[in-house]
Every structure is written in C-alpha cells, then in structure tokens.
C-alpha cells in the first residue's frame, strides 16, 4: 500500500507553529508555496535550472548518521545497523543506520551523542569520531545543503571492542553487560560484516557513511 500521510487529530500535541506563504497566478493556480517552521522550510517553485520542484532546507543544515563498528582479530569489519519500522520505506522493518535530524539549537555532535545513546543503550561514554570528507546531502534533488558550509548529514563512527559483542545467529549483538539496565531496544541493533551490511540496507545515508568508514579504517 502506498505510504500515506493523514490529517493530525486535534488532540495530538504538536507545539509547532508554521508560517505559510504562497503566490497565485491570474487563474488561481499556486505557483509558489513556502512552509516554514523552526525545523526548516519546504518550498515549491521554479528551480534555477528552470523546472518546478519541491526543496527542503532543514534546520541546522541536516542531521547525523552514526556507524558503530568492530575490527575483529580476523575477518572483515563488522558494522552496526538498527532494524526499525520506517513506514516510508515499506511495510516491513528495515535495516538502517543509527541517526536522525538535529533538534532546534543542537549541534551535529550533540545530536550524534543523543541519537547513539537513545538507539543503542550503550553504557560507556560515547567516544566518536567524525568521518573524513564532506557532509552528506541526503537527496540532492530535494534537500538544500551546501557541504562547503558544513551543511548536510554529518557521518560519525564509534569503535566497539570485540569483547563487547556476542554471537547472535548469523550476526552479532552488544552484550547485556555494556547496556543500560532495562534498555528495551537492544534486540534491534545488530553487527554484520560490512559487505553484508551493504546488501541488506536500503538506507542511502548508511551506505554513504559505510563508504566513508571503509576509507577511514580500511
């Protein structure tokens, strides 16, 4: 079934205020539309290339993607992905990279610390490194993000020690001893050989970050 956005019920809290601008031609047809909030601006109009389109400029210029990884004694790099329900990626849960958008007034580094702790439940202080190269434009036809200005999705990696994982079928998972007590999302984070990770994820951000990771750590 096609992905559907529904009307938000009145009782659902939002706390969001929108500024709406539009321009109609003499026939009443809208030929420019801008929806703006503290999270960014969605605009429909004529692109510089000469054709009509939508573009989105996200607050802070993008988000973050985080790849936890392990370098085992023997074998290829293991990369951590999270399996979660993403309704706009189909009916079945999908393997994705860990990450998300920035909250208002949040830096990229603050966002990656928050997202990693929320998604993995990893106990230790987050010692991450930003992967080299330009920030990622999630969709060059839709997102407005100038990588030369630091805008876009920043990719981070976090090295996990080999002993902090345990086998789980055809993959690996974090041991309970390195997780926050009572953390319930642990069963959705799994580590795969990087070649398999490339094959099982349709997440373009995860794939771009994985390429950066391979360049950085070999």
DSSP notation for 76-87 = SPEEEEEEE--G
In this structure, what token pair is assigned to residue 103? 């909250």
Within-domain flag for 96: yes
Within-domain flag for 64: yes
pLDDT in tens, 123-167: 665 678 999 999 999 888 999 999 999 899 999 999 998 888 999
Within-domain flag for 10: no
Check pLDDT > 90 for residue 51.
Answer: yes
pLDDT in tens, 61-103: 789 999 999 998 877 899 999 998 888 888 888 999 999 888 8
The number of beta carbons lying within 10 Å of the beta carbon of residue 202 is 12
Q: How far apart are CA 46 and CA 143, in angstroms?
A: 15
115 and 67 in contact (C-beta within 8 Å)? no
Token look-up 């926050």 returns 180
Q: How far apart are CA 201 and CA 197, in angstroms?
A: 6
Number of domains in the chain: 1
Full residue range of the structural domain in which residue 182 is found: 60-217
Which residue did the predictor score with more confidence, 185 or 197? Answer: 197
Within-domain flag for 54: no
- Dihedral of CA 170/176/177/183: which sign? positive
pLDDT class of 172 with cuts at 50, 70, 90: very high
CATH code (residue 151): 3.90.79.10
**149 backbone dihedrals φ, ψ, rounded to 5°:** -100, 10
């Amino acid at each position: 079934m096609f992905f559907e956005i529904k009307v938000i019920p009145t009782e659902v809290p939002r706390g969001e205020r929108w500024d709406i601008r539009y321009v109609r031609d003499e026939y009443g047809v809208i030929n420019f539309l801008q929806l703006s909030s503290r999270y960014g601006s969605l605009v429909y109009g004529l692109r510089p290339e000469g054709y009509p389109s939508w573009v989105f400029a996200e607050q802070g210029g993008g988000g973050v993607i985080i790849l936890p990884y392990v370098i085992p004694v023997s074998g290829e790099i293991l990369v951590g992905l999270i399996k979660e329900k993403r309704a706009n990626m189909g009916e079945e849960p999908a393997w994705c990279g860990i990450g998300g958008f920035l909250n208002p007034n949040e830096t990229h580094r603050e966002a990656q610390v928050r997202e990693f702790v929320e998604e993995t439940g990893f106990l230790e202080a987050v010692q991450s490194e930003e992967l080299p190269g330009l920030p990622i434009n999630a969709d060059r036809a839709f997102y407005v993000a100038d990588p030369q200005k630091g805008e876009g999705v920043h990719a981070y990696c976090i090295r996990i020690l080999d002993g902090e994982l345990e086998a789980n079928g055809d993959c690996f998972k974090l041991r309970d001893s390195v997780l926050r007590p009572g953390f319930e999302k642990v069963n959705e984070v799994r580590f795969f050989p990087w070649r398999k990770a490339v094959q099982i994820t349709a997440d373009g951000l995860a794939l771009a970050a994985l390429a950066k990771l391979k360049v950085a750590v070999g």
